[in-house]
Amino acid sequence: MKDFDTVCDFFSNCNELFYCIFESMEIKYFRLIKTIAEAGNIANSSKQLFLTQSALSHQLRMVENHLGCKVFTRTRNTWKLTEEGTALYALANELLETLEKGLNSVTEIKEGVKGTIKISTECYSFYQGLASFIQKMGVLYPEIEIDLILNATHQPIAKMLTREIDIALVSSIPDAKELSGIPVFDDEIFAVMHKEHPLADIKYITAKDFENIHLIIHSFPLDTVSVFEHFLRPAQVMPSKVSAIPLTEVSLEMVNANMGIMCIPKWALASFKLSEDFRFKKIGRQGLKRTHYLVIRNEDVGKKYITNFIDNFQEEFLVI
């Protein structure tokens, strides 16, 4: 029984007093009707409900007084449902089943087993692999609902503080006392270029080299682009040209046409067929390496469904 309107529809052809019964009867009366109907008589019901036959008879009379009709027809050893009783028995089954499911759901939420996780990232490339991971989680943990919140991309920490998302995937620990960062994997960003690009033969790219580069990024603003925020900005270098191309396939086509370079971790290109003419170059002598963190609210630390998500996420992306 999903809601009161459904119950009302269920009884639309019954005596109007049934509505009063539904609104005023305690759950114990529905359990009484169900038990007597299934046990066959009040004597057997007494044993199951741990009440005397006298107490059960008194309760049943109260129900029948509300109805103005009999719920059961009695013989010496067997009690059978009347037409009104049959309708009440059906209602009792639905109500008690719904109540049990509802209470189980509340218990799961209280114990942290069940919950909804809204997740976003600081960069669109992070979404690579997330869809398949969420699909696996749905099979392993059907009680956990996971939603990707794309409109929070580039500003996941702000969205966490306003409680619009629950987990953020970022490359630096936020400076907010309400939040905690959990390291999940490391990666390295490479400059991807065509073999005929002027920088294709050097061992690694310096910040100064970017002064004459057409840099292809996924989207603005620049402070959400790792190569700019962690490599070029500290060196006070700006590429000669920056283009935002939201589709990775198009960016790769431009690189293959030697129209610019893109900076991206190799794992983010795993699902694409790459040209043999591509060259991957380190960014800086030591390479541009990052640690990625799952950021959660401190109040959610220890919740089982959050822990299950984090543990499986770390296992899934450990190879990156």
pLDDT tens digits, one per residue of 79-134: 889 988 898 888 888 888 888 777 766 665 555 578 899 999 998 888 878 888 99
Q: How far apart are CA 250 and CA 36, in angstroms?
A: 70
With 80 as the cut, is the pLDDT of residue 195 above it? yes
Closest CA to 146 of 131, 159, 158: 131
Q: Is the per-residue pLDDT at 209 higher than 50?
A: yes
Q: Cα 215 vs. chain centroid, distance in angstroms?
A: 35
User: What local confidence, expressed as pLDDT, does residue 25 receive?
Assistant: 63
pLDDT at 40: 84
Q: Which of 273, 282, 172 is nearest to 230 (CA)?
A: 172
* Interatomic CA distance for residues 32 and 21, integer angstroms: 14
Model pLDDT, residue 131:
87
DSSP state of 36: H
Q: What is the pLDDT of residue 17?
A: 42
Of 258 and 270, the structure prediction assigns the larger pLDDT to: 258
State yes or no: pLDDT of 58 exceeds 90.
no
pLDDT of residue 69: 84
Average pLDDT over residues 15-41: 69
Place of tokens 């199951």: 48
Of 25-34, 187-196, 299-308, the least confident: 25-34
Q: What is the pLDDT of residue 110?
A: 57
Domains of the chain: residue spans and CATH: 4-111 (1.10.10.10), 115-168+297-316 (3.40.190.10), 186-289 (3.40.190.10)
Nearest to 21 by CA among 58, 67, 52, 76: 67
Give the pLDDT mean for 185-210.
96
Q: What is the mean pLDDT of the chain?
A: 86
- pLDDT category at 28 given cuts 50, 70, 90 is confident
pLDDT at 19: 46
Higher pLDDT, 43 or 274: 274
More confident residue, 16 or 115: 115
